[in-house]
Structure 1
Amino acid sequence: MNSISPLMKRGTEKSLKNWPSWIGYVAAAWSLLYGAIHLYWLFQGEGYPFNNDSLGYFSAMITYLPAKVGGIVFVILCFCGFGLGISIQKSLEIIFLRRVFLIFAWVFASFLLLFIPDISLIAVMAYAFLFKFAFNWLMFNQIICIIGALLWILTAVVYYRRTHIACGYCGRAEEGKPFLLLRWARQITIIAAIAPLPYALTRFAWALNIPLGVDAEFLKDFNTINPMAQLTEWVFGTICVAGGILTLGLIMKWGEIFPRWFPFIGSKRVPILLAVIPASIVAIAITAAGVVFTFSFFAVTFHLLPADGVLLGSISGTVGPMLIWVPWGVLLGLAALAYYYRRRGQCVHCGRK
């Protein structure tokens, strides 16, 4: 048994390192399985996850579609994804078909990232700092969809590299130019670090009983209904400020090497994924929630959805600061990507730098 374990470990590591060769099959398998689940729901199966009315205006975009329509959309997208995911494992000679696949992959991934999640993911991350945890099937389904989106993004990236004679692992070509994102990395990261400050300012004001953007009566009622409201606002505002500072680490020296005063790991290099993975997760959650907030803001403001007077009077102060969440999330994701490309070093597969 001891002689087999090292061999299994090396085999697993080798498989992970060869991810461009199998990522498309995994995306296709995910599509088949998730499409089959939606087919089950389409035929009155239990557990359909997009009928959540508890969040009201902050529900996912998919909830505005009737269950049958949403099920049909998913079944078509997933089964088309399965067929395309299998077929593109061989390079398509027709350029038009290549473009069709890439467009489908990116549209499908965007649909899964932006129209399926609601505000639950970012709320759970924030309330975790208050030691409040809530996890259910609806959130688990959102995570499944986000995983599917990432699989399709990676599949599209690998396919694009393969059809453009570039390394499937790093994307470098024989006469490749410097990645454009690296030229703007500093500016993008600074803007991403500043972006959460309007939201933080609002929360700090509410914590101090200053009705910034809302009526004084609304703030009073809000604090009465929720005794922990002021503490919550302090925590949420502080999280945003701390997040902005950590974002700056993507372009600062201490984001690459731990400060000397860090116990045990001081002066050691920061693992690339230790910065990239958390930033990417937060970027996805912020962007998805930002889509929901933006839709609800304009839907209520322009009377596209019914709303009472209280909601109409407070929408600019409560949801207005979140209108910047979509660009904030996108910029944070780009900053994390730029950080990765800047620090990744020489490719062990193609040898290019």
Structure 2
Amino acid sequence: MVRNVDSSFAIGWKKYARFTKTSEWAAYVGCFWALLYAVFVRFYQAAGGTIGLSAPIVDPTGGIYKASYVVGVIIMLCGFILLGLVKPWGRVVPSWIPWIGGVSVYRGLLLFPTLICSVFLIAHGAAGIITRVLFLTGLISLKMPPAFSGDVDMRVDALWDLFVYQPWFFIMGILSSLSAAYYVQTRGVSLSALRRGTLIFSWITIIVSAIFVAAIVFDFVDKLSFF
């Protein structure tokens, strides 16, 4: 039995390694995915759009709208950074850049921020989906952030989160993590190191997801839905 389990794990690992070695596409899809969210969610809401919001936003100073715009810009930049994982300029600084042109880019410079963001994105999406399902089935309660006012239909808000916002986070996290796995295989990282890194990444993501679920269920922090 143990031998069969080990054999199945080895076969699964080889398939994973082959799949990620050809996952260059994930960076391009991830960049496009980031642009979609930045433009049609963050910039749209920064401009005063209300589709997808179950209640008006109370923001006399305009701070929330400005923050939404800034978040949109950051998301766009993150999408373009994914391209650095598959483009030549993610490995060697372009020659037209003064002083540092032609210098090899340290692989951790792009890899570590991508992995950290991937953990956050997957955990955010997974926790959001789990807690919205629990809420819609009546097992837990959720509260609306104080920035919203008026009559709030929490079920509508939960449905938007469940089918629109949280899946975006989860899918974006998968795309960025696949891009990172592709990147390390093109930067000379051994398969054994990729294997260890993947296991560590998976466990960290599970732990962070559990913390996010607990934070929402037990109200450690305000509902994680602004981003």
Larger radius of gyration: 1
Match of 1:326 among 170, 173, 177: 170
Q: Which residue of the partner structure matches residue 3 of structure 1?
A: none
The aligned length equals: 180
Structure 1: runs of 5 or more not aligned: 1-92, 103-159, 161-170, 348-353
Counterparts of 1:287 and 1:179, CA distance in 2: 20
Is the counterpart of residue 210 in structure 1 residue 49 in structure 2? yes
Query: Are 1:196 and 1:328, in contact at CA under 8 Å, matched by a contact in 2?
Result: yes
Residue type at the aligned position of 2:57: K
Aligned residue in 1 for 2:57: 220
Amino acid corresponding to residue 56 of structure 2 in structure 1: L
| Equivalent of residue 189 in structure 1, options 27, 35, 38 | 27
3-state SS of paired residue (2:93): coil
For 1:286-325, what aligned pairs fall within 5 Å after superposition?
A: 286-307=121-142, 309-317=152-160, 320-325=164-169
Q: TM-score, normalised by structure 2?
A: 0.65
Distance in 2 of aligned mates of 1:178 and 1:204: 36
Residue 18 of structure 2: aligned partner: 180
1:275 aligns with 2:110: yes
Q: Give CA deviations for 1:74-96 in whole Å, capped at 9, x if unaligned.
A: xxxxxxxxxxxxxxxxxxx9526
Identity %: 20
8 Å contact from structure 2 (residues 126, 166) kept in 1: no
Match of 2:92 in 1: 257
Output the CA distance in 2 between the equivalents of 1:293 and 1:248: 27
Report the Cα distance in structure 2 between the residues aligned to 1:280 and 1:326, rounded to whole angstroms: 14
Asked which structure has the greater RCO (Cα within 8 Å, sep 6+), the reply is: 2
CA distance in 1, matches of 2:16, 2:141: 50
1:273 aligns to what SS in structure 2? helix
Partner of residue 77, structure 2: 242
Question: Which stretches in structure 2 are left out of the alignment for 5+ residues?
Answer: 144-151, 192-227
For the aligned residue pairs, the C-alpha RMSD in angstroms reads: 3.5
Show the counterpart of 1:95: 3
Q: Secondary structure of 2:153's match?
A: helix
Change (3 A) 1:303 1:195: farther
Distance 1:192-1:281 versus aligned 2 partners, 3 A rule = same
Task: Decide whether the 8 Å contact of 2:85 with 2:180 is kept in 1.
Answer: yes
For residues 175 and 26 of structure 2, what CA distance do their matches in structure 1 show? 6
